[in-house]
Copies of this chain bind each other. A is one copy, B any other.
Amino acid sequence: MKLVCLDLEGVLVPEIWISVAEKTGIDDLRLTTRDITDYDELMRRRIEILTRNHIGLDDIRSVIATINPLPGASRFLDTLRASRQVVILSDTFVQFADSLMDQLGRPTLFCNELVVDSTGMIRRYKLRQQDGKKRAVDAFRSMGLEVTAVGDSYNDLSMIMAADHGALFRAPDRIATEFPDLPRFVEYDELLAFLLNHAKSHA
């Protein structure tokens, strides 16, 4: 039985923190792992910025409610789910992803969680586990599933390499250059054809 594991941000929906930065006008929230490589430090900074600006979870959710999946993503996902099992593996937070998952027809999503206090302010986050995308792919393979993994960035590479088949979607040139053996796609139709017809091993 075949399973496709998809990254979320950049593959099906826009980068959520960037969208929140744009829509709230708080430029500091544009920080990404390119600016602060340590994810834990990055998240502490983001939470600090939100607290300082008195932005609670509900405020962010209102902003995220105005974000839509990338053009063509829903149709791609609907078509894929008619012939393949799909699980989305993401580093985002379940509270952020909710409205986007609703728009995408409630695919299964494994991601992280935010811890919110009684006043609605975000206090900390809970990782599902370290290296959660790769470990999910390992666990799916232990279930006898043939896994194809698709992502766009460095944090997707361990899951792509752990899978039976893998591909890059809308990945930056530098990743594609470093991993020339990985199929790389830009359009949903190309990715769909790969996933449905000829998901080749990256080995």
Determine the interface band of chain A, counting residues with CB < 8 A from chain B: 20 to 34
**A25 contacts the other chain (Cβ, under 8 Å)?**
no
Q: Which of B81, B102, B144 contacts A82 (CB 8 A)?
A: B102
Near B by CB (< 8 A), chain A positions 53-104 give: 78, 81-82, 85-87, 94, 102
Q: Which residues of B contact A107 (CB under 8 A)?
A: 106, 108
The proximity string for A residues 131-142 relative to B, scoring 1 for CB distances below 8 Å and 0 otherwise, is 010011001101
Near B by CB (< 8 A), chain A positions 145-161 give: 145
Given that A129-B143, A129-B144, A145-B128 are known contacts, is A110 also in contact with B135, CB under 8 Å in the complex? no
* Docked pose: A135 CA to B140 CA in angstroms: 10
* Docked pose: A128 CA to B107 CA in angstroms: 21
Q: Which residues of B contact A94 (CB under 8 A)?
A: 1
Given that A1-B128, A128-B144, A132-B143 are known contacts, is A108 also in contact with B110, CB under 8 Å in the complex? no
Q: Which residues of B contact A50 (CB under 8 A)?
A: none
Distance to closest chain B CB from A84 (angstroms):
10
Additional pairs, 14, CB under 8 Å, beyond known A3-B110, A105-B106: A1-B110, A81-B106, A85-B108, A86-B108, A106-B107, A107-B108, A108-B108, A110-B143, A110-B145, A128-B145, A129-B144, A135-B143, A139-B142, A142-B142
Across chains A and B, which 5 residue pairs bring their CB atoms closest together, nearest first?
A129-B144, A139-B139, A108-B108, A128-B144, A81-B106
